[in-house]
Amino acid sequence: MNKKKNAKENNKEMEDTVKTEEKPTVENESSEPAEDKDVKEESKEEEKEESKETDFEEKFLDMNDKFLRLHAEFDNYRKRTIKERIELSKYATEDVIKSFLPVMDDLERAVKLMENAETDPVQQGVVLIYQKFKNILTQKGVEEIKTSGEAFNTDFHEAITNIPAESEDKKGLVIDVIEKGYLLHGKVIRFAKVVVAN
């Protein structure tokens, strides 16, 4: 009986050792999928982080592009307003100067009429006023349009009449000036009214 008991105990021990040996292999088999799951989860997390990084990079590049465009637009706006301000200050006096041009014409006529008269204080006073007035307008940027002997140019001249040319070389030239034209900082404020040879 002892032998039978010993044999039974040996069988139990062997079964227990076999079971314990089998258990770790079962645990190893079950732990591998768990490790695979962990690796898969980690790779998913890494992919999520990478996608977040690329999203952040795209957003950064987009925001940077928007910022640069906005900055350039503001810079253009600033330059445009400065230019408009300068032009406004340049040409703000245009209406006032236009209203003074007939006075200038009258002073020129008076000076021409007085050239034939004897020198007297009135003539000298008129000439002095005319010269001062002309200097002030010149300082403000007003200049006379050159006309006599110049080729007719529609940008500066307004043809009042046409007369036959004395020779072929005088065709298309300004023969006479009816009313002088003026520029203000290079911009025509009054066209010269002229007679053109054809």
Q: What is the pLDDT of residues 154-179, one digit of tens each?
A: 999 999 999 998 888 888 899 999 99
Parallel/antiparallel/unpaired status of strands 192-197 and 157-163: parallel
**Whole-number Å distance between alpha carbons of 147 and 153:** 9
Do 74 and 142 lie in one domain? The reply is no
- Asked if 198 contacts 172 with a C-beta cutoff of 8 angstroms, the reply is yes
Number of domains in the chain: 2
Q: Are residue 98 and residue 176 in the same domain, yes or no? A: yes
pLDDT of res. 172: 87
Residue 1 has pLDDT above 80, yes or no: no
Task: Please indicate, yes or no, whether residues 108 and 187 belong to a single structural domain of this protein.
Answer: yes
Q: Which of 42, 74, 92 corresponds to the end of one domain?
A: 92
Q: Report the sign of the C-alpha dihedral through residues 91, 143, 196, 95, in that order.
A: positive
Of 66, 92, 118, which closes a domain? 92
62, 105: one domain: no
Residues with Cβ < 8 Å from 114, sequence gap 6 or more?
Answer: 122, 123, 126, 127
Which range of residues forms the domain containing residue 14? 1-92
Q: What angle do CA 157, 158, 163 make, to 5 degrees?
A: 105
Do 71 and 130 lie in one domain? The reply is: no
Is 95 in a helix, a strand, or coil? helix
Kindly state the percentage of the chain with pLDDT values over 90.
44
Q: Are residues 87 and 132 in the same domain?
A: no
Q: Are residues 88 and 104 in the same domain?
A: no
Span 89-113, average pLDDT: 90
Rounded to two decimals, what is the model's pTM? 0.58
With CA atoms as reference, report the closest residue to 108 among 197, 182, 161, 185.
Answer: 182
Residue 112 sits in a domain of what CATH number?
2.30.22.10
Does position 125 have pLDDT exceeding 50, yes or no?
yes
- Across the range 79-98, mean pLDDT stands at 89
Q: What is the DSSP letter of 1?
A: -
pLDDT at 37 (0 to 100): 66
Q: Stretch 71-84: mean pLDDT, rounded?
A: 95
